[in-house]
Structure 1
Amino acid sequence: MSRIFLLMAVVLGWSVTGCSTSGDSSAAGLAPAGSFLQTNAPIAVVDFFDMYCHTCQTEASHVNELQRAVNSRGMGSKVQFYAVGWGNSPLEAETYRKRFKVPFPVISDRDLAISKRYGSFRPPLLIALRREGGTWKEFYRTQHVMGRTDEILNAILP
């Protein structure tokens, strides 16, 4: 029931401000699902979130901070960040992207096609993948980012 209420509030808020709710994720500022892991970077960091998850909302600024820390160490070309909306529609994922000012690609995963590749879990979840040959291998996983920037950087940076 609370999901329906929140979604209605989001939709009503968007209509009042005139934002598009056409469902076209590229027009909304989301990355298309086909762009997931389409990078030349040897490492990908994936933040799985659910717009309705309070912990995910709390962790969002810390994931953004982690990405800034990677860039400030001159490793931005070696590590590509993604945020994947676990079970979220394009509208929900776009709302999350804007509300939490996510500076890297955000992808809607309404049908969990991306999320299922990484086992059964509930967000928040942050994973790091390393390109090995033509495939991506997971080498790091955590559900908590807050206050752990240096520890995570030491685990994921080459």
Structure 2
Amino acid sequence: MSLKIPTPVFILTALFLLFPLTTTTTLQDLLRSRGLPAGIFPDNVKSYQLDREDRLEVHLESSCMAEFDGRMYFDRVVTANLSYGGLVGLEGLSQEELFLWLPVKCIIVNDPSPGVILFDIGVAHKQLSVSLFEVPPSCMPQEVMLEKLERKEGFDFQK
């Protein structure tokens, strides 16, 4: 009885099946695969990292503001624990409520079928339509966003 040694072609084929070459995924694809909408983070994401403990670190080109149902402020780096349907322990994201900027502690989509996403801002929970987060929003530097709002709302500030 002779022992057959696997051929190099067989070994390479097995390795490619076990470890595909294309392991690069966009942040939007990652979010969708975890039951979250693709547009939670703005369009100026430079890179992201997900470690073995599912700690997500998102690097933006610069800190900025975006509009969903209200204004959100993104630090240059936003971190959270990523689970299926949730970003928990968020750091680097704030939401404006009644002229106050409150840190967003977690974002949860319990069941995507009703189309509701929950934002926990500590003192309250805010429910928004998931459809607001289908596409990454444009993110503008804070000064540009405030200038845009001043023009939109007709305010005329004098120095």
The structure with the greater share of residues assigned to helix is: 1
Answer yes or no: same fold by TM over 0.5: no
Higher relative contact order (CA closer than 8 Å, sequence separation 6+): 1
**What range is the shorter-chain TM-score in?**
under 0.3
TM-score (norm 2): 0.26
